[in-house]
Amino acid sequence: MASASANAGNVLMVSIVLLATVCACTAETPYAAGLSEDFYQKTCPQAASIVDAYVTKFLRKDRNFAGAFNRLQFHDCWVGGCDGSVLLNSTETNQAEREAHVNFGLRGVAEVDQIKAALEYACPGVVSCADILIMAARDATSKVGGPTWPVALGRRDGVQSTALMADSNLPFPVLNFSGLVANFAAKGFNAREMITLSGAHTIGRTQCNGILPHLYNFTGKDDATDTNPAMDKNFAVFLKKHCPQGNTTNTIFIDSTANTFDRAYYKNVLQGKGIFITDAALITNPVGKKIVTRFSKPGTSFFTEFAAGMVKMGNLEVLTGAEGQIRRTCQFVN
């Protein structure tokens, strides 16, 4: 964990970067229309503290949940906007986002439901599941040594969720550099922001499902020797021990310091120790390699740029006002 003084410095730097990037300056704000930092001030002033307390409880049990909460925000916002749709259950007639191939192993849904239940007890029908995801991702990141950032609230929950939408929008872990750039560009993010947000892999874990193409089927041969040649050989041996050919469900940490938000992810990528093909792809482009190299070093702007990227992500296609609904439980529409 970062020291108190380091965290205070991070907060200050995040505020400076956010203001600098959005303020040229008149009435512009860094938030989508309808969102504000004090949205629940009158209707549920304890909302943020309730979310924070539950995130603290979950991380005491398993610090690796920080990665799960980060992933939930990304996988929600990237598919039809930040509307909590990733939390919805499938029905007899619809396969929801959580059943998508790209959402394999998604964690944290039950924990979000616990937070929602506490908020419904304190302030019935007020706080959206979509806003819970935004607050939880921020709180979890800061609690494991990462930056914090201001969150604007007021999102409402969507009522539609399909696996096809998730598989059509989220980046699969086998994309090359140009594929990643195109995927992020479709959401209004440039290549630098893509590399910055890839830094979320500094926390969390994955099941072997997303790693196998990196280890056994890199060129389509589908055999034990068909491994990405750019991968560190000793690291490949380590991964194959934990993810035998054909095993999709074993879990492995994505980063060497997976319970702490730091710059180790970028150092690992430079050493040929990226878990996914998408990680290794970041340094196949000279501009990408330059950014990864910069972010791997202390004193650079990775933390502040990551915070700004999360704020920007939280603005994607939000529902506000009379749109959508405030779901009573996050896994079901009202």
Annotated binding site for heme b, which residues? Answer: 201
Measure the CA–CA gap between 19 and 13, rounded to whole angstroms: 10
Short-list 58, 82, 256, CA closest to 140? 58
Q: Where are the alpha helices (DSSP H) in the chain?
A: 4-22, 47-61, 65-77, 109-122, 129-143, 163-169, 177-185, 191-198, 212-215, 233-242, 264-270, 277-281, 286-295, 302-313
Beta-carbon contacts of 293 under 8 Å, excluding residues fewer than 6 positions away, are 266, 270
Q: List the binding residues for substrate.
A: 171
Measure the CA–CA gap between 74 and 206, rounded to whole angstroms: 15
The residues annotated with a catalytic role in the active site are 75
Q: List the binding residues for Ca(2+).
A: 76, 79, 81, 83, 85, 97, 202, 255, 257, 262
Short-list 212, 183, 206, CA closest to 195? 183
Q: List the binding residues.
A: 76, 79, 81, 83, 85, 97, 171, 201-202, 255, 257, 262
Phi and psi, residue 206, nearest 5°: -145, 160
Beta-carbon contacts of 212 under 8 Å, excluding residues fewer than 6 positions away, are 243, 245, 246, 247, 248
Q: Are 75 and 163 in contact (CB under 8 A)?
A: no
**Residue 176 region, left (φ>0) first, then alpha (ψ -120 to 50), else beta?**
beta
Q: How many CB atoms sit inside 10 A of residue 38's CB?
A: 10
Q: Are 286 and 279 in contact (CB under 8 A)?
A: no
Beta-carbon contacts of 192 under 8 Å, excluding residues fewer than 6 positions away, are 291, 305
Beta-carbon contacts of 208 under 8 Å, excluding residues fewer than 6 positions away, are 242, 243, 247, 248, 249, 250, 251, 252
For 248, the enclosing helix (H) or strand (E) is: none
